[in-house]
């Protein structure tokens, strides 16, 4: 079947373009430490060989930026840079990449006295002078605090949508239109809703689709498939990423999964939408990337999945995050959250911090909290043992 496409404008990113009538592109992100140039180059090239149209690399410091310049010399792949919290690093990295991605919620972390509009102007000027595209990356767990203040605590979609629309309007005012937008959540249903609402208001802006912290395969692929089926089949989406928690040598699986989902949608091979509000355990975990400070996080995510099988019938969400950037905020909405540092795992119950525990001690402590949570939701006599 022919897929419908929203009439988005064409945006060139390196050697390929997204939007308009261009094929939906598939991308991924490196999981190596950016300053390990050899390992990062190898992973970029592996992903490109697997069919990645764009590969994103995280840059969090001047040393990362210097490494990126070396990486650029050793690969012909289209590169995107994830600026993280220091927007001014764009000046150092833009000459070496094809796209700059920034998160509106992270613009507040540096030079707090400056209005965010001034920082966006800086980014647009840097991108334009280096012939770079930009992605405005809005995430549920790190949304613009100014936007969040205008909505109720139970509305996570409103702030995301408002933030994205405000940034688009501002970029348009600056005369910079070589951008796309992403609006991501770990809940596929919220991804569907926020992207449909955005596409209705700005059908001209190309959208990058993804379910953040989708988790381990096959669950992570299923969650992502649910969102993509509902959006791509309606003409929404110009580039995609399947974010999986996998070891470094398996990162190309993200590309294969993305290509397969697109092929299945085009062929009409779709599954019914799963309601994640039903009474079942939901484990979310972020994709492995260069921000992960201890690769034991990947094994821990799998261990959490295995350990919690006894509680599958309970509608409880456990989030396992791999770093300090997304971990603190993006675990707030989970019933129980773990975000991993170099030597300890931080445990949370909702937004309440319960302490930091060694990797070899976190599972028993997590089980204790899980059992307590289950006991609160059912008669004491039927609580798991």
CATH number at residue 219: 3.20.20.20
pLDDT score of 319: 85
Residues 292 and 171 in one domain: no
* 276 within domain boundaries: no
Q: Looking at the structure, do residues 230 and 342 belong to the same domain, yes or no?
A: no
Q: Would the pLDDT of 35 be above 90?
A: yes
DSSP 180-243: EEEEE-SSHHHHHHHHHHHHHH-TTS-EEE--TTBBSTTHHHHHHHHHHHHHHTTT--SEE---
Residue 251 lies in a domain: yes
Residues above pLDDT 70, as percent of the chain: 92
Q: What does the pLDDT read at residue 213? A: 77
pLDDT grade, residue 275 (50/70/90)?
very low
- Residue 273 confidence (pLDDT) above 70: no
- pLDDT of the residue at 276: 46
The pLDDT of residue 326 is 62
CA–CA gap between residue 145 and residue 140 (Å, rounded): 11
**pTM assigned to the model:** 0.80
Boundary-marking domain end, from 235, 266, 297: 266
Q: Looking at the domain assignment, is residue 146 inside a domain?
A: yes
Q: 297 pLDDT exceeds 50?
A: yes
Whether the predicted pLDDT of 281 surpasses 90: no
Residue 274 domain-assigned (yes or no): no
Distance CA 211, CA 187 (A): 7
Same domain for 48 and 178, yes or no, is yes
In a 13 Å sphere around the CA of 366, the CA atoms on its Cβ side amount to 29
Please identify, among 242, 266, 290, the residue that sits at the C-terminal boundary of a domain: 266
**271 falls within a domain:** no
* pLDDT the model gives residue 78: 98
How does residue 286 score in pLDDT terms, banded at 50, 70 and 90?
confident
The answer on pLDDT for 265 being more than 90 is no
195 and 336 inside one domain: no
Q: How confident is the model at residue 279 (pLDDT cuts 50, 70, 90)?
A: low
**pLDDT value at residue 383:** 52
Q: Are residues 239 and 295 in the same domain?
A: no
- Rounded distance, CA 78 to CA 55, Å? 6
37 and 175 both lie in a single domain: yes
Residue 137 within any structural domain of the chain: yes
Q: Greater confidence, 51 or 325? A: 51
Predicted confidence (pLDDT) per residue in 330-378, tens digit = 677 789 999 888 889 999 998 899 999 999 999 999 999 999 999 998 7
Around 55, how many Cα atoms within 13 Å sit in the side-chain half-sphere? 31
| One domain for residues 252 and 328 | no
User: Is the per-residue pLDDT at 379 higher than 80?
Assistant: no
How far apart CA 266 and CA 29 sit, in angstroms, is 25
Domain boundary at 266, 296, 322, which?
266
Does one domain contain both 334 and 224?
no
**pLDDT tens, residue by residue, 199-241:** 999 999 999 999 987 788 988 998 999 899 899 989 999 999 9
- Residue 226 contacts residue 261 (beta carbons within 8 Å): no
Quickly state the pLDDT bin for 274 (edges 50, 70, 90): very low
Q: Does pLDDT of 380 surpass 60?
A: no
pLDDT at 38 over 80: yes
For residue 322, being part of any structural domain is answered with yes
What pLDDT, on the 0 to 100 scale, is given for residue 381?
A: 40
**Are 215 and 320 found together in one domain?**
no
Q: Which stretches within 281-361 are classed as H helix?
A: 296-307, 327-330
CATH number for 369: 3.30.413.10
- pLDDT, one tens digit per residue, over 52-108 is 999 999 999 999 999 999 999 999 999 999 998 899 999 999 999 999 999 999 998
Q: What is the mean pLDDT of residues 37-43?
A: 98
Count of all residues that appear for the chain in the document: 385
pLDDT at 267: 81
Provide mean pLDDT across the span 147-151: 91
Given this model, what pLDDT does residue 116 score? 96
Q: Could you tell me if 295 and 229 lie in one domain?
A: no
Of the two residues 296 and 259, the one the predictor is more confident about is: 259
Kindly state whether residues 260 and 290 are assigned to the same domain.
Answer: no
The reply to whether 3 falls in a domain is no
- Which DSSP symbol is given to 342? S
On whether both 168 and 226 belong to a single domain, the answer is yes
| Higher local confidence (pLDDT), 120 or 299 | 120
The boundaries of the domain holding residue 174 are 11-266
Exposure string (b/e) for 166-203, b if CB count within 10 Å is 16 or more? bbbebbeeeebebbbbbbbbbbbbbbbbbbebbbeebe
Residues 6+ apart with CB under 8 A from 219: 283, 305
Kindly state the average pLDDT of the residues 41-45.
98
pLDDT category of residue 322 using cuts at 50, 70 and 90: confident
Question: What's the domain count of the chain?
Answer: 2
CA distance linking residue 327 with residue 321, whole number of Å:
5
Tell how far CA 56 is from the center of its chain. 11
């Amino acid at each position: 079947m022919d897929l419908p496409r929203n009439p988005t404008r064409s945006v060139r990113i390196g050697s390929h373009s997204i939007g308009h009538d261009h094929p939906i592109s598939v991308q991924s992100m490196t999981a190596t430490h950016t300053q390990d140039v050899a390992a990062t180059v190898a992973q970029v090239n592996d992903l490109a060989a697997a069919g990645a149209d764009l590969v994103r690399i995280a840059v969090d410091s001047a040393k990362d930026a210097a490494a990126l310049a070396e990486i650029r010399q050793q690969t012909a792949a289209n590169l995107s840079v994830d600026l993280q919290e220091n927007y001014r690093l764009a000046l150092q990295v833009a000459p070496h990449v094809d796209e700059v991605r920034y998160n509106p919620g992270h613009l507040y972390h540096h030079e707090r006295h400056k209005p965010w509009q001034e920082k966006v102007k800086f980014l647009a000027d840097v991108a334009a002078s280096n012939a770079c595209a930009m992605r405005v990356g809005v995430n549920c767990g790190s949304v613009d605090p100014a936007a969040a203040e205008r909505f109720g605590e139970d509305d996570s979609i409103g702030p995301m949508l408002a933030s994205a629309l405000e940034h688009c309007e501002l970029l348009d005012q600056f005369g910079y239109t070589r951008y796309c937008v992403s609006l991501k959540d770990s809940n596929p249903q919220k991804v569907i809703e926020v992207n449909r609402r955005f596409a209705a208001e700005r059908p001209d802006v190309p959208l990058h689709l993804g379910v953040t912290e989708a988790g381990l395969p096959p669950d992570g692929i299923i969650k992502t498939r649910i969102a993509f089926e509902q959006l791509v089949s309606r003409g929404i989406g110009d580039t995609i990423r399947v974010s999986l928690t996998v070891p470094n040598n398996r990162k190309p699986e993200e590309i294969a999964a993305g290509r397969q989902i697109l092929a299945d949608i085009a062929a009409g091979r779709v599954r019914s939408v799963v309601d994640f509000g039903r009474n079942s355990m939901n484990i979310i975990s972020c994709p492995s990337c260069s921000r992960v400070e201890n690769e034991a996080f990947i094994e821990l995510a799998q261990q959490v999945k295995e350990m919690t099988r006894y509680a599958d019938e309970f509608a409880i969400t456990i989030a396992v995050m791999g770093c300090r950037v997304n971990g603190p905020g993006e675990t707030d909405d989970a019933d129980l959250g773990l975000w991993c540092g170099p030597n300890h795992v931080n445990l949370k119950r909702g937004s309440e911090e319960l302490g930091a525990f060694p990797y070899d001690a976190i599972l028993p402590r997590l089980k204790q909290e899980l059992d307590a949570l289950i006991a609160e939701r059912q008669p004491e006599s039927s609580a798991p043992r």
